[in-house]
């Protein structure tokens, strides 16, 4: 009964609790909403102990992704998993505002506003040209 397979639903930690583990004695990380205790990995980390200690006790998702860690590195994470981040402290991942397609909107305006404005200018020029012709 000991070797439970419930590795994905461990205990829940707040960011405050994770924040206390920010030294080489104890180093915890949040990566993609999950909490990892990498204390025993600090010295083994191929990228060095310092970079890990700089991020310890924090959400290191961005730094972890920025480095472009291999799938091996991602696999390794599993052995250090200790729990989940409290839902209140979780970042809104995956919801990078898919509804706000600002670039789409700007292209809408540039494709429509410019021709409309051009047509207006041409219309006004034509009008003045005709009036001028009539007056002289």
| Interaction site with ligand HEM (CB under 6 A) | 29, 36, 38, 45-47, 51-52, 55, 60, 63-64, 67, 69-70, 72-73, 76-77
Residue with tokens 């993609």: 32
- Closest approach of ligand HEM to the CB of residue 116, in Å: 50
Residue 37, number of CB atoms within 10 A of its CB = 17
CA gap 74, 117 in Å, rounded: 53
Supply 95's token pair: 């919801």
Supply 30's token pair: 């949040």
- Closest approach of ligand HEM to the CB of residue 111, in Å: 42
- Closest approach of ligand HEM to the CB of residue 78, in Å: 9
Residue least distant from ligand HEM (Cβ): 47
CA gap 28, 81 in Å, rounded: 10
Residue number, 15 or 76, with CB nearest to ligand HEM: 76
């Amino acid at each position: 009964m000991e070797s439970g397979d419930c590795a994905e639903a461990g205990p829940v930690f707040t960011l405050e609790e994770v924040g206390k583990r920010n030294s080489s004695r104890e180093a915890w990380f949040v990566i993609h909403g999950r909490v990892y205790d990498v204390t025993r990995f600090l010295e083994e980390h191929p990228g060095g102990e310092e970079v890990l200690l700089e991020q310890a006790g924090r959400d290191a998702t961005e730094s972890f992704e920025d480095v472009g860690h291999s799938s091996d590195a991602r696999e390794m994470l599993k052995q250090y998993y200790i729990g989940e981040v409290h839902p209140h402290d979780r970042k809104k991942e995956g919801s990078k505002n898919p509804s706000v397609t600002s670039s789409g909107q700007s292209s809408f305006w540039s494709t429509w506003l410019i021709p409309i404005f051009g047509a207006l200018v041409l219309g006004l020029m034509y009008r003045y040209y005709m009036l001028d012709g009539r007056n002289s």
